[in-house]
Structures are given as C-alpha cells and as structure tokens.
Structure 1
Amino acid sequence: MNVPQWAWWLTIGLMSLMLVIDVYIVAKRPHVPSTKEVTVALIGYVGAAVVFGLGVWFLAGGRFAGEFYAGWLTEYSLSVDNLFIFLLIMAKFAVPEKLQQSALLIGIIIAIVLRGIFIALGAAAINNFSWVFYIFGAFLIYTAVKLAKEGESDDDEFEENRLMKFVEARFPATKEWHGSALFIKEQGKRLATPMFIVIIALGTTDLLFALDSIPAIYGLTKEPYLVLTANLFALMGLRQLYFLIGGLLKRLVYLTIGLSVLLAFIGVKLLLHALHENELPFINGGENVHVPEIPIAVSLGAIVVILGVTTIASLLKTRRDSRLEAA
C-alpha cells in the first residue's frame, strides 16, 4: 500500500483539527454531556471510520479495507476494556462529574502521542527484523493467558503504576480541585492539582494497554498508515463512549475473557506468520516453514464472532443473575 506523504499530513491535520475543536468546546463549557450529545458524537466518529474504510476499499482494494476494519474493531474492543480502568481511576480520585470530560480529553491526547511513537517503533522493528513477529505473538499469547486469569477474579481495584507513585511523591500537590487547571500557586509554591495526577494516571494506563494493542494490530496489518488511522478512530470516540456505556460496562462480565480469546487468536496468527517468514538459523535451518497463514477475511470474521459472542453471553448472564436476585 503506497500512501503519499500528503495523505499522511492531511490525515494528521484533520484529526488534529477535530481534537482542537473538542478541546475548545470542553474548555469553554465544562459539563456532564447528555446522552443525546454523546450518542450523536459517537455515531459521527463511527460513521467516519466506516466511510474511511470504504475509501480505503475504493482506492487500495478490499484486502487493505479488511485490514483497516479488523484493526479498528480490535483497537476499539481493547479501548472498551480501557474504559473500565478509567472508571476506577475517576472513582479513586473522586473526579467531579463536570471535569471528567476535560480529564479524559487531555488523557486521550497524551495517549495518541504515545501510541504514535509506539507505532513508529513497531514499524521500524518489523521492517528491519522479521523475527520480531515471534516476540509479538508470544507476548500476545502471554497477555491473553494473564487476562483470562484476571477475568476469573473479582478484583476491581485500581493499582497505581510506578510512574504514578513517582509523580505523587515528587510533585507537591493540593487535594483541592481548581477546575481544569493542572498547577496552581499557593503562598509562592507551585502545586500540582488532582487534575494533573488524574491525567497522568489516564495517560500512563493507556500506555500500558498500548503494549498489547500495538502488537495486536500489527498482527492484522503491516501498513503503518492503517495502524495509525485505526488507533486514531478508536481513540477519538473513546470519551463519548465512556459517558454512554459506563453502566453497560458492568454488564459485560465476559469482556476480559473475550479479549483474551481475541489476543490469543492474533498471537497465533503472528506466530504462523513468523514461521512463514522465518529467518532464524535455529528454526528449520533459517528456511521458511510452510505453515498455513490466516487470511484477513477469516481474521475479520473471527473478530466479529468473538466480540459478538462475548457481548451476547455477557448480557444473557447479567439478565439471568438479575432474575435470580429478584427471585
């Protein structure tokens, strides 16, 4: 897929413009968005992603369009898992409802920048070292097993990472909220506000999730442009999704299990591709291993089935549990 440089800059420019408009609207009027407001915005973002995929289909062919849709759905499903952690962060730091939009928006902007760096590093690694697919595949399978074990536990406490603990120990902070301000001055001292701590928590948490999502999407497409746009479209509507399905997340009881199956599937796909492109001398004498590869159409179908079964099974279980509790 040959993407001209102007297309890269146009895409980044349009996405940046959308973020600037978002920042302006939220900063001008901090508020708790209505269901209608977030629904309209989310439909707009999802519709834009669908139209973009159709554009890829028209200009580059069905295979690349399938890769974009598969990557977008995967990133979106993993982003939904992020939302549960975001809810825990908001609860832990008692973020006022009218300020949650600002915190989420700035956290998402940080996440976009960090993911952009990860995408560039991943592309460089893939172009220079074909064996990196072994690492990606093994890491995704390991993550899938870890997620499956977490899905069996009832632990829903947010644990601060090391960077969070360092920031809280290093920066003098006030416990009082001062709107969306990140720092204030009190008695000549510069103090961090709770908003600064929350944004660091959101940004670094998404960075940890990117360690899973970036290898996962490179298992579906090796085109950096599609990787970038799939991530951008998944993150752009994340803030609206947070306010729209906050209550629904608690009903998706099998979400973690479903995501573990999804990551394991992509991990196996990556390992098969690594064997097919093998150059390691201690595997088959450095020759390619003739193994079947999973085509993108099968991958896209598997993603839709896994996410659909996960959602339906979760809703059926919560409905049954509600009926038993009522009885």
Structure 2
Amino acid sequence: MNQYSKKNYSRSKWKKHPPIIVHWFEDKHGPNGNIIGSIPKNSSPFTVDTIEQLLASSGTFDFAKLGLYDPRCNWLDASVDFAPHFHVIDSNSGKALTIVAKAPYGDKLPYDPTLDREGRGFTSFQGIILRRITTLRTRLVETSDASLGDEWFQSFRALVSECVSLIDTTLHQLYFKAKLDPLAGWKFDEKALGPRHGRRLTDKFNWVYKITGKFLHADTEKKNFVAIKDLRNHLQHFDPPSFCYTLEDAATWLNQVIDCGRLNWAIRQCAGSPLSVPLIELLLQRAVQFVPEHPAAMRVPQPDNVGYLSTKPQAVEGGDV
C-alpha cells in the first residue's frame, strides 16, 4: 500500500483508510519495440484487505488483477534477458548481427553483455535466483518423503548455494549502483567500503549503511543467513570431508531460507527499493515442521553430538568467502 501510494502509513491506519486508486502510465511501444509514448492507466479501487486477501489466496501478488503496474525495482530487478538462437552475417559489412544489453547502472559501466551468436545474457540475476529458491524449496517440501535419497540432497545443496548468491548479488548491485549511478542522498567512498573481493561476505553488510545512511536492522535474518552461508561453504568445499544431517536439521535450514528472503527485503528497504513479485512469493512460503514417519513412537530431543553438529566444521579465521 505504501509502495503504490507513495505514503508511509502503518497497517492499522491503512485498515481504516478508504479504497485508493493508483494513476500510472504504461509505455507505448512502436513496431520495432521502441518506446514512442505512454498510455494513462487507472487501477481498480483497493484496500489493504484487498491486498492481503489476494496474497493469502494465491501465494503471489497478481498486480495485473488490480490494474496495477509491476512493483519491481528498475535498477535491482529489471533485467534484459536475451537468448539469440542464430548467427547472422551482414553481407555488406561482413560482421555478425550483435545484441548489446545495457545494465541499469548508468553509462559509466565498463562492460555490456554482448552476443553475436547463440547464447544467453542477463543484466540482473535477482528474478532468476529468487524464482529458483522458491521452486527448489517448494519441491523439497513436496518430495520430503524422498528426503533420504541422493537427488533430494543434491537439490538441497543447490538451494543453499542459491540463497548465498541472492544476498551476494544484492550487495554487489547496491555497490555498482552507488558507484556509477547513485540515488539522491547516497554516498560512495571506495576506500571506506573496502575491496569487493578477498573478504568476508558478511563484512559487506556494512556497505548498506555506508552507502544509504540507513542501518540494516535485521539481526535475526543476518544470523540465519550466516548459518546458511556456513552450510554452503561446507557443502561446496567439504572441509572436513564428511557430512551428516538429521531431517530436523533440514527443517531448520528450510525455514532459515525464508530469512534469506527477509534479509533481501531489509536491504531493499534501506535502499528505498520496492518488493518484487518473486521476492513476495518467497516471503509467502510457509514454515515447515519435521513430521516423523511414525509420529506416535517415543522420541527424545536431538543431542548435540548427532546430526550436523557431529560434522560441522569449526570457524576458521579468514576462511570466509
């Protein structure tokens, strides 16, 4: 509601607020796909109850159903995805037809994704990673009866890796935006921010305040992200070269995945960036709970010397990536 109305009301205030209508403009494209103008649009009247009912009933945010525009962030979420399946040579110049995509960081970016033959290019990974996380997590829950098999475990490894990539790419997008095309009120001091490479990922959380001037109030989310990140390191490097987990461990990790989405949201809030539909879908994922095959059988609480804690590597100074 705040995003579309450009206001900053509490939920209780919105509950008392009459329906609102959003007036916006849709790009008008010419025959070659270029923007040649704009078309005025009006949303349907809606309230906070309308939004909540839509989210609860669908598990996503169908903005078009309310006549609204896509809520994505233009510099964080919008991506030029291109995948030519041809290699065509111009008979006059002898050169191949070339596609060049411009990333949304101004004109100073020293590189542009370029293809002149079959391939795939992106200018943002936000959407593809967020959708992958939600798809993998949903699949793992729905196939949890096969959670002791190799395929389930390999999909779980992929999920953990994607969660770390999500936060990593978000922080680097913030860095490049601040360096090349900063928003009003942002600061960019390359020396104060420190190097992008060869340092702990968690040190980069300091970039948020140093760039936006807003504190990243997400202690629980950062703590759970660090747990996922440490798990990712173990599952990628296998140091030590052993691994063990209980399904109760797995349930904890699957719930920490949602906190990785919440951390992405917290970074966006500091940056003044809106939610995207793929992020909304991740945030709407439900918490999971381990249910044993024989729920009536007697069980004892999991001790510290079994499951992942029996193989968890100790923190190594300087060993983060």
What TM-score, normalized to structure 2?
Answer: 0.27
Structure with greater proportional helix content: 1
What TM-score, normalized to structure 1?
Answer: 0.27
Q: Which has the larger radius of gyration?
A: 2
